Structure 1
Amino acid sequence: MPLEIRVIPCLSDNYAVLLHDPLTEATAVVDVPEATPVLEALDREGWDLTHILITHHHSDHVDGVLAVKAQYGATVVGPKAEADGIPGIDVQVVDGDPVAVGSLIGRVMETPGHTAGHVVYIFGEERLLFSGDTLFVMGCGRPIECDPPVLWQSLQRLRALPDDFSVYCGHEYTVANGRFALSVDPDNGALRGRVAEAEAARREGKPTIPALFGDERLTNPFLRADDPDMAERLGLAGADPAAVFTELRARKNVFRG
């Protein structure tokens, strides 16, 4: 039986994501920005939460963990490097560790940058990436606890994923990300089309996740810092890709388009 996924809007622009295995009735939630929307979704679906998968320690990803755990007794999984900041953590994971949700077997990839211990969860057979705040649709997280080149290295690791992976990220930043992407890649027809689709979806109140990784490869400027054309457009022809990425991130930080 195919797995079931539900995207749950939380706070002003966060997402939690439910992952349900019909074969075993196991259910995981990826990040818990607040408890109420997650509990309401579980009640609506009639699912029993068994796992809480945390990508990083920021409060807008963990504030609802204890309340949800108290309701269901779910096992809290999170990065070992940030265990002190993750309430109720039961299982501390590092790069390459397996994570089982019923019959669904994922693995952990460490992607430092936004935070020093950030992880993502990859379910290869199901073609799923839960990217937290490392990779957004047409964007990436702000490097807060690491220098930008560290995040660039993490994105290069993610870039090895196949095009048919579905990306579930932690925030609804797509329209703003797309408008910034157009400012540095204005002649990209695929990008213009994606921005228009995102704007239409948001006008209708629909989420813009998931996204296909192949579309990200074509339109996300932060995945293309080693593209000579991107470097040239930024006035950095011949520069190291890490420097190009750093410039992209600096421009995004101040972009108000």
Structure 2
Amino acid sequence: MSIFDYFKRKKEEKVEAERQLKIQQEADFMLPQYIKHVVESLDLIGNTSNPQTFIGRRSFLIKEGTEAIKWMKISNRFQDSDVKKMQEVVDKALRHGYEDEFMLNVVRKLNKKVAKVKLPKTKIKYYKESLSLINQFKNDFKSESISWLNAKIEPEILSLKKKIDLEKQMKELKARGKYQATFLNGEDISKKGSPEKSNEVLLPLLKTLFDDDGELYWRLAINYRKLKDYQSEINIIEKALSKEKMYWSFHSKQQFENRLNKAKILLEKK
């Protein structure tokens, strides 16, 4: 080897050493930022219940984790085991990882939010809003994760709807009890021979929950018959027969139809 080749090789080795040192320095400078971003992303992913935040942070974690692995392989401060751990974090995120923890977090935070309100309708609103928000990003989640969340929340919504229906029924029963007393009063007035006064009591019931009770219409029909107001009798019977929902108790629909025919005959004779 000539003296020229010797010094040329030494110069190249020096340049390479300086380049390696520069790379090491760059790795030492860049790595703390990437590792910090990965740690922060993991922390945020573990605490958020917002799907947009979760998906965005998971993507950011993959990006920053991949960069961290690249620089860790260059740096002489990290062992292969450190690189392997970081690779596991990135691989888990790439395989739709951390979703189970996220979905559990969604349910926990949602249940806390729902527990703070009393109205079942508001609770249902919160549940539906949460499902709707998650479903907007369903393509970014495993179908199993979406199915699991639906299986957790939908029964809660169904239970609350049943509770609302039961409360509505109880309210209606209470109201019907009040209207029933009014009806019995009007019926008693009618039986005592005051059909006009009876109508004054009974007619307002047509604008209440009691408007589906067949006996109300039957008593009004009796009153109109007593008053010889056959057209009004026909009208009230036809109204009863045209209603989609009607409780036929003591008098059947057929009896109403028979009475209607009789009222029409009486009107013609009048």
Quick one: higher RCO (CA 8 Å, sep 6+), 1 or 2? Answer: 1
* TM norm structure 2: 0.20
Question: Greater strand percent: which structure?
Answer: 1
Question: Greater helix percent: which structure?
Answer: 2
